[in-house]
Amino acid sequence: MRYALKPLDDSYRQQCRAIFNEIVDEGQAFPWEQPLDEAAFDKLYPPHESVWCAVDERDEVLGFVHVHPNGIGRCAHVANCGYSVRTDARGQGVGRLLVEKSLEVARAEGYRGIQFNAVVATNAAAIALYRSFDFAIVGTIPGGFRIDDEAGESRFVDRHIMFRSL
């Protein structure tokens, strides 16, 4: 299946927020503990930043990527990207398409590298995808991510920092 990449606009916001909140509810990849309401989502993904949506032939959002500075001032030349893929669209090339787009956008916007601050060590699919694009684990925070089970018991898994030069 072929997907189109389109900038985030008001027609896609609700779908993107639903995808984001689905990932938050899974509790395996994003640090947020509660789903975001509309105002919080709009603050996280403001209109002036680079957010690209992968949409199918029905114009439904399957995933999206956010490209923005990882830091301020003297650190603003390194990008950070956040990828969100709808559960039922995983394993279909959407994530790969989003990573490709983020590399293109980051280069076009003048970034010199991309850093991921919180890749959960148990997220093998994401790590394999990022490594296929020459991202490397440059650091690991032992026990840096909390996963809660259905009984409310917590376990702590490692969190990686990954980087790639552009």
**Which residues does residue 159 pair with via DSSP β-bridges, in sequence order?**
120, 141
Detail the DSSP E strand segments found in the chain.
4-7, 50-55, 61-69, 78-85, 113-120, 136-148, 154-165
Predicted local confidence at residue 68, as pLDDT? 95
pLDDT tens by residue, 116-149: 999 999 999 999 999 999 999 999 999 999 999 8
Average pLDDT over residues 23-32: 95
Query: What class has domain 4-165?
Result: alpha beta
Q: How many CB atoms lie within 10 A of CB 5?
A: 16
Return the H-helix or E-strand segment holding 8. none
Domain positions in the chain: 4-165
Average pLDDT over residues 98-121: 97
Average pLDDT over residues 41-54: 89
pLDDT at 47 over 80: no
pLDDT at 1 over 90: no
| Backbone dihedral region for residue 47 (phi beyond 0: left; psi -120 to 50: alpha; all else: beta) | alpha
Predicted local confidence at residue 42, as pLDDT? 92
Predicted local confidence at residue 152, as pLDDT? 80
Within 13 A of 134's CA, how many CA atoms are on the CB side?
7
